[in-house]
Amino acid sequence: MVRVVDMHCDTISVLSQRQRQGEKVSILENDLEVSLEKMEKGGYGLQNFAMFVHLKKTDTPFLECMQQADTFFQLLRAYPEKISIVRNWKEIDENWEKKRMSALLTAEEGGICQGEPALLRILYELGVRMMTLTWNHANELGFPNRTKEDDLCRGRYGLTEKGITFLEEMERLGMIVDISHLNDDGIDDVFYYTKKPLVASHSNCRAIAPHLRNLTDEHIKKLAERGGVAGLNYYIEFLAEGRTGQNRVSGIEDILRHLRHMKKVGGIDVIGLGSDFDGFDNPVEFQDASGMQLLAQAMEKDGFTTGEIEKVFYGNVLRVYRELLS
């Protein structure tokens, strides 16, 4: 069994919302795509749990984020024998040796900080070790790759001055910069104003599926040159164009198509996993976290070596974590 490191899921956001609506929720077993039982069956070693905040649905984004963090700590600390919350490489490595799963807290939407570096530093103290600068709406830091609404700056749609300040502070703190959801101008700015490896936690190849959420070949190459990693996303809209009805299923072959292209453009060392489980509404061929070994088996049949499969499933992401999460 190949161990799994996944850079992005929305499970905690869903469970937190249900909890605030009065439901009794569990991370051990549930009807979602990620649970501890499903992760154990799928061979997981580490899961990034994202706190996702929709800026258009709240006037208090940082409070929303804190409520999700509360859910994360409540649920994950209830099963210390199965999984441990991690903040640095030493803790990840210790869990890996003990074959105990790790949970890493991340944030999906830089707008939760409302342009205040102090709130960014609080997130870091809380244990957040990765953050996207945007989601699907413009904020104080920059612009998403879906729209140019809510014009916060003039001219090109790159990072704002506040966004550049946040980049510098994230690198100083040791918080990994995640370029998923950011628009092309913004991604160019991130490469220009940073020095350390970056990640695109859940983004695919635009050359294969021409969605703006996917990475251009140029950005894949830059990510590889910087020593970063892109996590393969299982959402059908980012895997294939024009799928409707019963065909709207994320197939293993769809994922392999992006994997092969990303390897061709940036090399095997730039590829990781970023499922986006519990963040989209279409079925996946291998169903959920429990079926991840089916993808490993398909990669082997497709001609990937054992070493290449291990790099994609965990090695490349752990390399970045070892360097950045001191």
What pLDDT score does 156 carry?
A: 65
8 Å CB contact between 313 and 296:
yes
Strand, coil or helix: 291 = helix
Helix (H), strand (E) at residue 46: strand 44-52
* Nearest-angstrom CA–CA distance, 84 and 76: 7
The dihedral sign for the CA sequence 118, 120, 121, 125? positive
Task: Spell out the alpha helix ranges (H) of the chain.
Answer: 11-20, 36-42, 61-76, 89-98, 117-126, 161-173, 184-193, 217-225, 236-239, 252-266, 292-301, 306-310, 316-324
What pLDDT score does 326 carry?
A: 85
CA torsion angle for 253, 257, 258, 264 (degrees, to 10)?
A: 150
What pLDDT score does 145 carry?
A: 85
pTM: predicted TM-score of the whole model, two decimal places: 0.96
* Nearest-angstrom CA–CA distance, 307 and 197: 22
* Nearest-angstrom CA–CA distance, 222 and 4: 25
What pLDDT score does 152 carry?
A: 44
Strand, coil or helix: 53 = coil
What pLDDT score does 69 carry?
A: 98
- Angstrom CA distances, 316 to 7, 233, 268, 272, 278, stand at 11, 16, 9, 6, 23
8 Å CB contact between 38 and 278:
no
Name the residue with tokens 């569990």.
26
Q: Could you give the angle at the alpha carbon of 137 between the alpha carbons of 132 and 139, nearest 5°? A: 70
8 Å CB contact between 233 and 203:
yes
| DSSP for residue 233 | P
What pLDDT score does 157 carry?
A: 83
What pLDDT score does 297 carry?
A: 98
pLDDT in tens, the chain (326 residues): 999 999 999 999 999 999 999 999 999 999 999 999 999 999 999 999 999 999 999 999 999 999 999 999 999 999 999 999 999 999 999 999 999 999 999 999 999 999 999 999 999 999 999 999 999 999 999 999 865 444 444 456 899 999 999 999 999 999 999 999 999 999 999 999 999 999 999 999 999 999 999 999 999 999 999 999 999 999 999 999 989 898 999 999 999 999 999 999 999 999 999 999 999 999 999 999 999 999 999 999 999 999 999 999 999 999 999 999 98
What pLDDT score does 265 carry?
A: 98
- The length of the chain, given as a count of residues: 326
Token pair, residue 173, equals: 């703190």
Number of H helices, E strands in the chain: 13, 9
